[in-house]
């Protein structure tokens, strides 16, 4: 096949060299690359062990360690950090396509874990791992936002993204609604996964932040625990939302669209199968099939953040 010939299943919008550039923006994204970076980081902080053999603490063990830490026991502090270091890898794995070096994110996540250990109060009744996840995610989010702002986006990829946005706008006007990833992909001649990947990679760094809330708090302040008596409830709500989003990413784009509409995940307004079908321009039966397929897939999904946090309960 000649250099400029296109494979029948190749994307129309991105040429081979553009896909290579896209890989450069994404940074280490394969399982083996992430595992290597994680192993190096683990050995840096824990030279005598590995994450696979770390004991998962029970709630009572967490409380005992927390009481010892409050009394100044450094050994208990090290134990609590080591037992929950796996949470850092879990959070960082969800940021590995930002283009930020994995080692930097792991280091920042570890600092968030240490901060959680130093601030944890077992008397509030919250599991430490649930509490720590928010501190870790806040630290990693800030690092990804700050460091990603320094990374340039290849010109050709920026042009491809610009075309994608134009097609999205055009489709939205034609359909009188926001198009799905599948519909944008069909218009561009690429896969739905490529559409979502491009949206993520070219998201402006500021999109990892949001404007201040009505009470004047910044995103970091939403993420990080506070002294508010309702803080633990808010942490669990945030984790539930994160777990739902993470689970949905294991579905096909069309399955995600069906579940979002069917159960009102974005609007808090559930729809009937007939309404879902009309919104997606598919039959009621097809909507039912996609719903059942998605639910079957979710029942056999890999663990999410809440599963990791709840290990040992």
- Domain limits of the chain? 22-148, 226-313
Q: In percent, how much of the chain has pLDDT > 70?
A: 56
**231 pLDDT band (50/70/90 cuts)?**
very low
Q: Is 171 left (phi over 0), alpha (psi -120 to 50) or beta?
A: alpha
Q: Tell me the mean pLDDT in the region 220-240.
A: 46
Place of tokens 């400029």: 4
- Residue 266: its pLDDT value, please? 65
Phi, psi of 99 (to 5 degrees): 90, -5
Q: Is 129:61 a contact under the CB 8 Å cutoff?
A: no
Q: Is 161:198 a contact under the CB 8 Å cutoff?
A: yes
Q: Is 218:212 a contact under the CB 8 Å cutoff?
A: yes
Q: What is the pLDDT of residues 131-145, one digit of tens each?
A: 888 888 888 888 877
- Residue 183: its pLDDT value, please? 86
Identify which of 90-104, 105-119, 145-159, 225-239 has the greatest average pLDDT. Answer: 105-119
Q: Which CATH architecture has domain 22-148?
A: Up-down Bundle (1.20)
Q: What is the pLDDT of residues 192-209, one digit of tens each?
A: 767 766 665 555 544 444
- Residue 34: its pLDDT value, please? 56
- Residue 129: its pLDDT value, please? 81
Q: Tell me the mean pLDDT in the region 69-91.
A: 90
Helices (H) and strands (E) in the chain, counts: 16, 0
Contacts of 75 (CB under 8 A, 6+ apart): 68
Please give the full DSSP string across 65-122, using - where no structure is assigned: HHHHHHTT-HHHHHHHHHHTTHHHHHHHHTTTTSSS-HHHHHHHHHHHHHHHHHH--G
Distance in angstroms (rounded) separating the CA atoms of residues 89 and 34: 9
End-to-end CA distance of the chain: 57
Q: What is the pLDDT of residues 236-281, one digit of tens each?
A: 455 555 556 666 767 888 888 898 888 877 666 788 889 999 989 9
Share the mean pLDDT of the chain.
69
- Residue 152: its pLDDT value, please? 67
Identify which of 38-52, 74-88, 172-186 has the greatest average pLDDT. Answer: 74-88
Strands (E), the chain: none
CATH of the domain spanning 226-313 = 1.10.10.10
Q: Tell me the mean pLDDT in the region 284-295.
A: 89
**72 pLDDT band (50/70/90 cuts)?**
very high
**16 pLDDT band (50/70/90 cuts)?**
very low
């Amino acid at each position: 096949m000649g250099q400029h010939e296109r494979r029948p299943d190749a994307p129309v919008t991105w040429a081979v060299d553009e896909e290579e550039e896209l890989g450069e923006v994404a940074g280490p994204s394969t399982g083996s690359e992430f595992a290597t970076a994680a192993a190096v980081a683990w050995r840096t902080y824990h030279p005598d062990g590995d994450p696979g053999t770390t004991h998962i603490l029970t709630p009572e063990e967490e409380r005992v360690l927390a009481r010892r830490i409050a009394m100044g026991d450094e050994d208990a502090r090290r134990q609590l950090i080591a037992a929950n270091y796996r949470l850092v890898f879990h959070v960082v794995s969800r940021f590995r396509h930002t283009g930020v070096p994995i080692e930097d994110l792991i280091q920042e996540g570890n600092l968030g874990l240490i901060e959680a250990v130093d601030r944890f109060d077992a008397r509030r009744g919250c599991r430490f791992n649930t509490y720590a996840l928010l501190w870790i995610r806040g630290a990693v989010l800030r690092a990804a936002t700050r460091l990603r702002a320094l990374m340039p986006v290849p010109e050709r990829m920026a042009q491809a993204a610009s075309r994608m946005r134009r097609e999205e706008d055009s489709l939205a006007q034609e359909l009188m609604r926001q198009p799905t990833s599948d519909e944008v992909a069909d218009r561009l001649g690429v896969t739905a996964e490529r559409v979502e990947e491009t949206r993520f990679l070219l998201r402006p760094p500021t999109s990892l932040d949001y404007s201040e809330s009505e009470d004047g708090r910044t995103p970091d302040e939403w993420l990080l625990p506070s002294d508010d008596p309702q803080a633990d409830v808010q942490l669990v709500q945030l984790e539930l939302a994160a777990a739902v989003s993470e689970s949905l990413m294991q579905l096909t784009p069309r399955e995600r669209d069906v579940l979002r509409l069917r159960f009102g995940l974005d609007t808090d307004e559930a729809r009937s199968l007939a309404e879902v079908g009309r919104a997606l321009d598919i039959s009621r039966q097809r909507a039912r099939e996609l719903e059942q397929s998605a639910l079957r897939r979710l029942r056999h999904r890999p663990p999410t953040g809440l599963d990791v946090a709840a290990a040992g309960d």
